[in-house]
Amino acid sequence: MMPKSEHRRSAERRATGLAATIAAMNNAAPSSLNTALDATAAGSPERPAGAGGEPSRDTASRRLDGDRIRLRLSAACRNWQIEVVDATGSTNLDLLARLRENASCAPMVRAAMQQTAGRGQRGRAWQSVPGDSLTFSLAYVMPGGPAELAGLSLATGVAVVEGLSDLPLSAPHTLGLKWPNDVLLRGGKLAGILIETVPAGPGRIGVVIGIGVNLRQAQDVATRIDSAAAASAPADTSVATPVVPATPPAALESVLPEPDMSSVLIALVQRLAAMLERFAEHRFSAFRDDWEAMHTYGGASIRVIEHGRDLLHGVALGVDSQGCLRVATDEGERVIASGEVSVRLLEPSGTSGAQGVR
């Protein structure tokens, strides 16, 4: 794991130049993962993704090797079930269904080469191509109820940055976090997190964490997002629709040439399993300092956007003990609790107004 002091120094170095970088780019990567369950794929027996023939070295790095993944995780995830499949509708919904049927199936990891019905926050589609992105979910049963899960998405982000930093990246200091659930690389969106819950008996709650990571072809991701946005645009062009400014997609290959999909999954799951165990005992307080150190927008002027319109402008101060975003405004400090808002850097002109977001 990168020392906290290094994360803080790198965050300070990024703060001044990041606004110009993002303002110049206009393609958004939605906060990843999962929707309708593909019953056939979900019900099929597990088989190693990509089985059937000796792969080339390049092809092997773009596939999930179930046997190697289980072997490498056998110590860190001793009591975990680990499933690797070619395709499914949604790994999140697969695991939610399992938890509803029998919560004792957890802890569990389910990874798929392809998700045919992936979604992210607010139901947006997760744009991915097999081999170019890594999509997987984890199921875990926590003590307590929904209130005790405050800050879990932020703690998950910390674990994702730590896991990626365990890989031989050329520039690990360029990783960072954006509230509440995005992992950034040089200001672009590298990964997204989606957390869903189900009851798991008295005093317990089932948690499913879905994660999507762009491994390759960031520009292709941007093109697919643009096409999806155009297809969903209203037919009546006479009505002005506020557009949230984009966070451009990023891909891991920019700091890790030819990333090996299985190795990335192993590194992430090791950190995520440890995070879940620690969170169950200590909650978000155990992760708050690390999240602050990784906060890309810390000390920067930001816009908080709701339903496509500016809610407020201010300076990002960090998060409180519950993981809520603290923002300094002209009227005083505001606390943002809803993950349904969007946070963007404020353009240098600061001219974005309530009539619409560029």
Q: What is the pLDDT of residue 349?
A: 55
Query: Which has the higher per-residue pLDDT, 37 or 253?
Result: 253
Q: Are 240 and 178 in contact (CB under 8 A)?
A: no
Query: Which has the higher per-residue pLDDT, 91 or 355?
Result: 91
Q: Are residues 116 and 189 in the same domain?
A: yes
Q: What is the pLDDT of residue 266?
A: 98
Lowest average pLDDT, out of 2-11, 99-108, 264-273, goes to 2-11
Domain with residue 240: its CATH number is: 3.30.930.10
User: Taking residues 98-113, what's their average pLDDT?
Assistant: 96
Query: Which has the higher per-residue pLDDT, 348 or 17?
Result: 348
Q: Are 162 and 3 in contact (CB under 8 A)?
A: no
- Assigned domain for 355 exists: no
- Whether 211 has a pLDDT exceeding 80, the answer reads yes
Q: Are residues 305 and 289 in the same domain?
A: no
CA distance 137 to 325: 25
Whole-number mean pLDDT of the chain?
A: 80
Q: What is the pTM of this model?
A: 0.79
Give how many domains the chain has, as a whole number: 2
Q: What is the pLDDT of residue 312?
A: 94
Q: Are residues 254 and 320 in the same domain?
A: no
CA distance 32 to 125: 7
- Assigned domain for 61 exists: yes
Last residue of a domain, one of 294, 318, 336: 294
Q: What is the pLDDT of residue 353?
A: 41
- Assigned domain for 351 exists: no
295-320 as b/e, with b when 16 or more CB fall inside 10 Å? bbbbebbbbbbeeeebbbbbbbbbbb
Q: Are residues 198 and 337 in the same domain?
A: no
Q: Are residues 177 and 324 in the same domain?
A: no
Query: Which has the higher per-residue pLDDT, 233 or 85?
Result: 85
- Whether 1 has a pLDDT exceeding 90, the answer reads no
Q: Are residues 201 and 305 in the same domain?
A: no
User: Taking residues 105-117, what's their average pLDDT?
Assistant: 94
- Whether 13 has a pLDDT exceeding 70, the answer reads no
Q: Are residues 339 and 273 in the same domain?
A: no
- Whether 177 has a pLDDT exceeding 60, the answer reads yes
Q: What is the pLDDT of residue 271?
A: 98
CA distance 125 to 194: 12
Lowest average pLDDT, out of 69-78, 187-196, 241-250, goes to 241-250
Lookup: tokens for 35: 């929707």
- Please report which confidence band the pLDDT of residue 358 belongs to, taking 50, 70 and 90 as the band edges: very low
Query: Which has the higher per-residue pLDDT, 340 or 50?
Result: 340
Bridge pairing between strands 182-185 and 342-345: unpaired
- Assigned domain for 120 exists: yes
Residues 6+ apart with CB under 8 A from 165: 1, 2, 172, 175
Q: Tell me whether the omega of the peptide bond preceding residue 249 falls within 30 degrees of 0, making it cis.
A: no
- Please report which confidence band the pLDDT of residue 78 belongs to, taking 50, 70 and 90 as the band edges: very high
Q: What is the pLDDT of residue 116?
A: 87
128-158 pLDDT, tens digit each: 577 899 999 999 999 999 999 999 999 999 9
User: Taking residues 23-29, what's their average pLDDT?
Assistant: 35
Q: Are 48 and 84 in contact (CB under 8 A)?
A: yes
- Assigned domain for 211 exists: yes
Q: Are residues 17 and 137 in the same domain?
A: yes
User: Taking residues 264-271, what's their average pLDDT?
Assistant: 98
Q: What is the pLDDT of residue 47?
A: 41
% of residues, the chain, pLDDT over 70: 70
- Please report which confidence band the pLDDT of residue 218 belongs to, taking 50, 70 and 90 as the band edges: confident
Helix axes 261-282, 152-165, angle to 10 degrees: 140
Q: Which domain holds residue 310?
A: 301-345
Domain with residue 313: its CATH number is: 2.30.30.100
- Please report which confidence band the pLDDT of residue 122 belongs to, taking 50, 70 and 90 as the band edges: very low
Three-class SS of the chain: CCCHHHHHHHHHHHHHHHHHHHHCCCCCCCCCCCCCCCHHHHHCCCCCCCCCCCCCHHHHHCCCCHHHHHHHHCCCCCCCEEEEEEEECCHHHHHHHHHHHCHHHCCEEEEEEEECCCECHHHCECCCCECCEEEEEEEEEEECCHHHHCCHHHHHHHHHHHHHHCCCCCCHHHEEEECCCEEEECCEEEEEEEEEEEECCCCEEEEEEEEEEECCCHHHHHHHHHHHHHHHCCCCCCCCCCCCCCCCECCHHHCCCCCCHHHHHHHHHHHHHHHHHHHHHHHHHHCHHHHHHHECCCCCEEEEEECCEEEEEEEEEEECCCCCEEEEECCEEEEECCCCCEEEECCCCCCCECCECC
Q: Are residues 124 and 224 in the same domain?
A: yes
Q: What is the pLDDT of residue 128?
A: 59
